[in-house]
Amino acid sequence: MRQTTRTARDKGPRLDQFAPVEKYSPYRFFSAEKWAGFRADTPLTLTAEEVKRLSSLNDPVDLDEVRRIYLSLSRLLYAHFEASLLLYRQRQVFFNATEAVKTPFIIGVAGSVAVGKSTTARLLEVLLRRWPSSPKVDLVTTDGFLFPNEILRREGLMERKGFPDSYDVGALLRFLSAIKSGQRDVRGPVYSHLTYDVVPGEFVTIDQPDILIFEGLNVLQPRDLPKDGKFVPFLSDFFDFSIFIDADEELIHDWYIARFMRLRETAFRNPASFFHRYSELSEDAARAIAEGLWTNINLKNLRENILPTRPRADLILRKGADHLVEQVALRKL
């Protein structure tokens, strides 16, 4: 059989790392400029001041980026939300159900540390909340479901904080199951980034939202499948739509180091901060610490756990060197 050499055109967009040729990929790919056109007549309901407040440290999202990426994305998500309401009503008719139970539309947001998950989640929360029907939108992060530091230390997991085994998976599944079942006043634990620990006795209460945004490093992480075929739920089983924030490994490294050095000059200076000791180091010593944390914890987690979940997402936002989205991949229907 005659072998042919693949050309640059055959390889498809740089984002397509899941299939040798784009036509075999489960995704459709769009440049940021093409994606911006899907905004249609979606109004801009955010101000520059609000965008600045919603953006994470060192994340240069502005109104132009909201127009380019997030208005189209909020329009798409709202369309999926409305479609899910229609399907729900049809199921009620199918089952001859007389009592309606409010079932929230759940959006999962995944990606590495320092890649901009929190900014994306907060922007979508506000944009979706301001659609004309004014849906009730809540945002929860997985940080609160980390085991307390006391347990992590006892189990030797402090150096694996953020890895799948550092989370109380049972609590995560119970929480999402209760939300998806339409239960009232579901409580979730609260995490403090100042003390770097779960806050004892403090909870956030989620009361039947129309839309829940669930953000975290490993929310698309599957579990080992049992050989006996018994049902094993994944967190993503409760999602109606999932988003992965993506970027080259080298870029995420640079953003992580820059954020750490910025925090050294700000939040770490608080004596109550878990990382206060780093604020007293020289710049070179602090940078060495940051490089060690990246290499020994965050990079390992990215390669072993987070990046392998990327092809499970419904939509992938790929960022470029300026921290702004340059390509969008949307799973085909």
Annotated binding site for ATP: 111-118
CA dihedral 168, 170, 173, 175 (to 10 degrees): -80
Residue 214 and residue 121: Cα distance in Å, rounded?
8
Residue 160 and residue 158: Cα distance in Å, rounded?
5
How far from 180 is each of 145, 186, 250, 272, 275, CA to CA, in Å? 18, 10, 37, 37, 37
DSSP line for 275-304: THHHHTS-HHHHHHHHHHHIIIIIHHHIII
Residue 196's identity, in one-letter code, is Y
Structure tokens at 108: 């999962």
Residue 7 and residue 5: Cα distance in Å, rounded?
6
Buried b (16+ CB within 10 A) or exposed e, 183-220: eeebebbebeeeeebbeeeeeeebebbbbbbbbbbbbb
Residue 328 and residue 317: Cα distance in Å, rounded?
5
**Cα 204 → chain centroid:** 19
Cβ pair 12, 25 in contact under 8 A:
yes
Q: What phi and psi values does residue 251 have, to the nearest 5 degrees?
A: -70, -45
User: Hunting for tokens 């769009």 — which residue is that?
Assistant: 30
Binding residues: 111-118
Q: What phi and psi values does residue 103 have, to the nearest 5 degrees?
A: -110, 110
**What residues pair up with 206 in beta bridges, in sequence order?**
186
